[in-house]
Chain A
Amino acid sequence: KAGVTQTPRYLIKTRGQQVTLSCSPISGHRSVSWYQQTPGQGLQFLFEYFSETQRNKGNFPGRFSGRQFSNSRSEMNVSTLELGDSALYLCVSSIGQGGQETQYFGPGTRLLVL
């Protein structure tokens, strides 16, 4: 089975621009989550989608948004980029429920904002 795919793997943007990151989950997985990883803040939960509906959201400003398509692929968008948005963005594909989900992490998209 193919793993979680994230594109692009690396990205350089400038302040004020917007960016869209893409994630393809493992086939059959209907839940996709996104995390931001930075040296200072560690791993922080952005949001989770299940069957095209946002099921949960972290404490990030409205500049961060996401969506999930009918084939479970997901995108996240960051508008009006700030220097502090430089991070590794990790997509997670999961199956299961009730807190016992088995989570599969993608390799991440490394975003650098200049």
Chain B
Amino acid sequence: AQSVTQLGSHVSVSEGALVLLRCNYSSSVPPYLFWYVQYPNQGLQLLLKYTSAATLVKGINGFEAEFKKSETSFHLTKPSAHMSDAAEYFCAVSAFNQGGKLIFGQGTELSVKP
């Protein structure tokens, strides 16, 4: 069975500091992996996705993530945090042979201090 684990339910950084949100996955087949962001009272917005092309994936708003098969990880990073990055972030894996079904991690709430 596939699963996703996000390490740290809350992460706090200072404005301008590096953002690192951790995601580990479990999958018996090559996974498709996603990062989503959710702002208060809104739906989820796709930041980036990995679909077995380049292992370093660049997304919107300056975010990127690196797929590391040996570590079964797909951590999300941004070199310099902005106040507008404060939101909840979800890592997800596409369920194998189950159409568009996504399996989500529990989410990480990112706070950005001025």
Q: Which of B43, B98, B105 contacts A108 (CB 8 A)?
A: B43
Question: How long is the Cα–Cα vector from A52 to B78 in the complex, in angstroms?
Answer: 40
1/0 per residue, CB under 8 A from A, across B71-114: the answer is 00000000000000000001010111111111111110000000
Question: How long is the Cα–Cα vector from A108 to B42 in the complex, in angstroms?
Answer: 7
Q: Give, as a whole number of angstroms, the nearest-CB distance from A14 to chain B.
A: 23
Residues on B with beta carbons closer than 8 Å to the beta carbon of A106 = 43
Is B45 an interface position by the 8 A CB rule? yes
Known contacts: A4-B43, A90-B43, A90-B44. The answer to whether A103 contacts B102 by CB under 8 A is yes
Residues on A with beta carbons closer than 8 Å to the beta carbon of B106 = 42
Is B14 an interface position by the 8 A CB rule? no
Chain B contact-residue range equals 20 to 34
Return the chain B residue nearest A93 by Cβ.
B100
Residues on B with beta carbons closer than 8 Å to the beta carbon of A58 = 101
User: Are A33 and B101 touching (Cβ within 8 A)?
Assistant: yes
Known contacts: A90-B44, A105-B43, A108-B43. The answer to whether A43 contacts B104 by CB under 8 A is yes
Which of B32, B49, B92, B100 has the largest number of chain A CB atoms within 10 A? B100
Q: Which of A4, A33, A42, A108 contacts B100 (CB 8 A)?
A: A33
Question: How long is the Cα–Cα vector from A56 to B103 in the complex, in angstroms?
Answer: 13
Return the chain A residue nearest B104 by Cβ.
A43
The 8 lowest CB-CB distance pairs between A and B, nearest first, are A105-B43, A99-B94, A43-B104, A101-B100, A105-B44, A99-B32, A94-B100, A55-B99
Chain B residues proximal to chain A, CB less than 8 Å = 32, 34, 36, 41-46, 49, 51, 90, 92, 94-107
Chain A residues proximal to chain B, CB less than 8 Å = 4, 31, 33, 35, 42-43, 45, 48, 50, 55-56, 58, 90, 92, 94, 96, 99-108
- Additional A-B contacts beyond A31-B99, A48-B99 (8; CB < 8 A): A4-B43, A42-B105, A45-B101, A58-B101, A96-B100, A102-B46, A107-B41, A108-B43
